[in-house]
Amino acid sequence: MADLGTLSSLGIGSGVLSYDVIDKLKNADKELMVKPLEDKVDLIKKKESALSQFITIGASVKSDIIDIADGTLFAKVNTDVSGSSVSIEANDGVKPQDFSIDVKELAQNDIYESKGFASLDSVVNSSSESVTLDIGVGGESVSISLQSKASLEDLKNAINDANAGITATIIDTGIGNNPYKLILKADNTGEDNIIKFDYSKIEDLGLNATDYTSKSYESEDDIVNESGDTQTFKVTVNGTEYAMEVEDGATVSDFIDAINNGELKDSDGNSLGISADFVDGQIKFNLKAVGDISIDDSNLTTNFNDNTDFSNKNRIQPAQNAKFKYNGVEVERGANTIEDLIVGVKINLNSTGLSNVSIKNDVDDIVESIKKFVADYNQMISNLQSLTAYDKETGNVGLFQGNSDFTMLQSRFSEDLFGITYTYKVNDTDRNGNTYTLNAFFSAADAGFDMDRNGMISFDEEKFRENYEKNPDVAQRWFENTFTTLKNDFERTITGNNSNLNLLSDNLKNEEKSYEDRIDAMKKYLDTKYEIMAKQFAAYDEMINNFNAMSQTLTMAIEQAINAKS
């Protein structure tokens, strides 16, 4: 007890009214009035700790439930490819399916190589003026400008800077006196991406190695137009038509002279600028352009289309579509990566040949998730049973024995898991061959679940796999319905902000604070009570001390009087 200053001599007079007596009295009051309250607080704290631990376990189980309930788990797929001609990427959610891909041809880029040049600085525009050239792929083209005396490297840079869908490079072959070659490659594959390049305004790059050749004639005096009327000779280069009239009776010599004189012109009067010769009995010319080129010599005897070898040795790879059979159906695409054939599936064509593809649900992941749920759920039930237990023999009672917020959980969750049956329609045939529809059912037992008498659940993986393989859609519906119900009940009873157990936790905190306040008040009351008692004891002790002093004085006087009379 605290020092009371003037009361420090308490007990001297009486020998009884001491601080030791006051402390004993005060401790007796504490044992009677404070200790029960402190024991109540200790019990509440134990409940709070056990409740917090149980809610944490419940949250873990709820997380397992959500993984199964939201359908994402059942949407996971894996792919199995037999063969090396394709590789497959399937998004989760793709319907399980099997198909075959028989690759006949891969898509290719259009690639040309030029003739050889002595150096990177070899001049390709020998004119005294800058020129404009059209280059592009498919139906798109851009114009590039080359200054006077522009070099091979200047041309390469101009093409790359134009972003025309073509990449230009120069390679040093190391062969002969003209080792440098310009390579043009279309950036994308497919027949729609053929390179179109009219370079007739500059030096011959040799990209077009095709000689356009007529039928054979005996001499330059042979007639090329025997129709009896004027005819038109046309050459179309990348959509631009060049034409010239050929009069009736015109000879081979006349035809060649007209071409060499620039009479083959477009609608704006621009000459195609080619030269023709009579070589080995045939009319021959070469074009300084690649791309879509066609010749129309109808009603003339020249017949270029049937006598020309249109293969171009400087076109080292022609633009080509991918060609394959999908489940036996012929398909073409401009690229080797195909994403528009099956929704959610990317098919990469790697080589020619047959591959068989199987897209299946990832059952292994489903099984592992269910196993985790079962283990966590059983841990929760074990903890729940410990908290609500009552042992008649030992008298041991769980912290929440008899609490309905706890005692109802096991029955509610087991009802959620084993009380939901998914109903679906199936077709069957009677003995007469007539088809009819009847209801079929999928339950927890079909999903592989069982429960023992103690409320612990088990999972038969083999049974689940067998039934899931038979009808994955039905199994998924049962899991989604059942585990969504479980999730909602966990939210209402354990994990939600306003769940039964979170409200119970709030109540326990409030109850603990109430008891703490009562303990503080009781301690203050006892402190005040025994401070007052100490003061009272001090007064009584002083009185006793005074009486004792008076008694001693009287005793001495009496003794003196007696001695005096003796």
Token digits of residue 216: 């054979």
- The CA distance from 444 to 212, in Å, is 78
Closest by Cα among 178, 185, 206, 204 to 124: 204
pTM (predicted TM-score): 0.70
pLDDT score for 537: 66
pLDDT score for 236: 96
pLDDT score for 393: 82
pLDDT score for 13: 43
Q: What's the per-residue H, E or C state across 55-74?
A: HHHHHHHHHHHHHHHCCHHH
490-497 long-range CB contacts below 8 Å, 24 or more apart?
A: 490/58, 490/61, 490/62, 490/65, 491/62, 493/405, 493/409, 493/412, 494/54, 494/55, 494/58, 494/59, 494/62, 494/409, 495/55, 495/58, 495/59, 495/62
Extended strands (E) in 191-256: 195-198, 212-216, 231-237, 240-246
Closest by Cα among 13, 6, 9 to 542: 13
Closest by Cα among 450, 480, 476 to 462: 450
pLDDT score for 30: 84
pLDDT score for 7: 42
CA dist 554 → 427, 558, 566 (Å): 123, 6, 19
| Residue segments in the chain with a per-residue pLDDT below the cut of 50 | 1-14
Q: What is the pLDDT of residues 119-128, one digit of tens each?
A: 999 999 999 9
- Bridge partners of residue 390, in order along the sequence: 397
pLDDT score for 535: 77
DSSP assigned state of 92: T
Q: What are phi and psi of 482, to 5 degrees?
A: -65, -50
pLDDT score for 525: 87
pLDDT score for 296: 97
The answer to whether 543 and 28 have CB atoms below 8 angstroms apart is: no
Q: What is the pLDDT of residues 472-502, one digit of tens each?
A: 989 999 999 999 999 999 999 999 999 999 9
Q: CA 47, 53, 59 angle in degrees (round to 5)?
A: 130
pLDDT score for 12: 45
pLDDT score for 17: 52
Extended strands (E) in 417-482: 422-429, 435-442, 449-451, 457-459
Token digits of residue 2: 């605290």
